[in-house]
Amino acid sequence: MNLISGGVCAAQGYTASGVHCGIRKNRTKRDLALIYSEVPAACAAVYTQNKVKGAPLAVTRDHLTDGRAQAVICNSGNANTCNANGTEIAEGTCALLADALHISPSDVVVASTGVIGEQMDLGPFRNGIPELARTLSREGNSFAAEGIMTTDTVRKEVAVEFELGGKTCRLGGMAKGSGMIHPNLATMLVFLTTDAAVSADMLQKALSRDVQETFNMTSVDGDTSTNDMVVLMANGLAGNQEILEDGEDFAIFMKALNTVTVQLCRLIAGDGEGATKLLECIVKGARDHETAKTVSKSVICSSLTKAAMFGADANWGRVLCAIGYSGAEVDVNAIDVSFRSRAGEIEVCRMGSGVPFSEEKAREILLEKEIDILVTLHEGDGEATAWGCDLTYDYVKINGDYRT
């Protein structure tokens, strides 16, 4: 399993592009992205559980009833959510793209991200889609990754190469996510492509399993977006025997998928709105896996813990507090906590009580950009990891005038 470059264009048969079409006022920012497979692909998706959903989600869900897709189009700057004409805009976008690419509108996945409740029309899409289609290329992955960014400060792209039945396969992805990150059975916007041959049913199985351990374990601010969606396409051009059931090949594919999604989780959490640090909470020794997940997610969601990490304050009591209200069944007198970064590791709590430690050394560790919060529960073999970020002054600044 090797990390490679190329993002969504790493796999055979995929091209991508990104342009400015006029949705965003800043003409230097791309606001429309396209991923295209030269052949129809099996496709699976998961969606936000927020009851308020963007119109593109309903349109995409309808288009994927046959488990097939050939193109993904996504705009930034306007979420197309809570708009009276939202479905009309989403369906119209698909029709315009289908005409430009000479494919069926039902083979188009459509997504949007940006401000909720802002009026929208098809004008920018009419202007931008011809150029979007014309500039498709194998090198267009980074332009597409830019086109889906909102408050993101960096592109988020990952790809891996692996083997199935003697055939070299690739799987790549791109994501956007900086704020409103607290998924519930889905995630922020993530688009994944592979040239492996996998049936639509097995793609759905793989994706639904994976998000439980990756994107659902990621939180920036506790807000579940209205437009969260993960899409996974498989066009089969690698030539492996199609994966139709559980087995060794499916396990290898799951590992490849997980390698990409874990890296995207880290990129998303580390680029949280206003964030200066990536937090990774690793829980071991839980009575079971679900307990470990509950504990790790509670810690990285704790506003007080996040604020302490921003201030490089080794306030381990906030970690225990988050564990205590998590709802998990734990022995509070058997909890160990340590903080770790490339500057070292320091134990701050043993068996539920504080231990003497150097505040100076702890601060040195917590001043790093990536911090591990290590929790051991001493009750079993359950393990889990969750990803988050620190809580800074800039988060409030960004969201205090996000719309205006």
- Cα 113-299-314 angle, rounded to 5 deg: 115
Q: pLDDT tier at 118 (50, 70, 90 boundaries)?
A: confident
Average pLDDT on 253-264 reads 97
- The predicted pLDDT at position 185 comes to 40
Least trusted range by pLDDT, from 265-269, 284-288, 364-368? 265-269
Catalytic positions, please? 187
Structure tokens at 367: 């001043």
- Asked if 350 and 257 touch (Cβ cutoff 8 Å), the reply is no
pLDDT in tens, 330-351: 999 999 999 999 999 999 999 9
- The predicted pLDDT at position 402 comes to 61
Closest CA to 132 of 238, 19, 8: 19
Average pLDDT on 54-61 reads 90
Report if pTM > 0.75.
Answer: yes
- Asked if 132 and 32 touch (Cβ cutoff 8 Å), the reply is yes
Q: How far apart are CA 398 and CA 265, in angstroms?
A: 21
Domains in the chain: boundaries: 2-270, 278-400
Q: pLDDT tier at 187 (50, 70, 90 boundaries)?
A: very low
Average pLDDT on 86-115 reads 95
- The predicted pLDDT at position 179 comes to 54
**Whole-number percent of the chain with pLDDT over 70:** 95
User: How far is the CA of 298 from the CAs of 98, 101, 136, 166, 321, in angstroms?
Assistant: 44, 46, 42, 42, 10
* Positive/negative CA dihedral, 300, 306, 311, 317: negative
**Beta-carbon count within 10 A of 3 CB:** 11
In terms of average pLDDT, the best of 115-124, 207-216, 247-256 is 247-256
User: How far is the CA of 398 from the CAs of 152, 155, 305, in angstroms?
Assistant: 11, 19, 20
Fold of 2-270: L-amino peptidase D-ALA esterase/amidase (3.60.70)
**Architecture in CATH of 278-400:** Roll (3.10)
**Beta-carbon count within 10 A of 28 CB:** 6
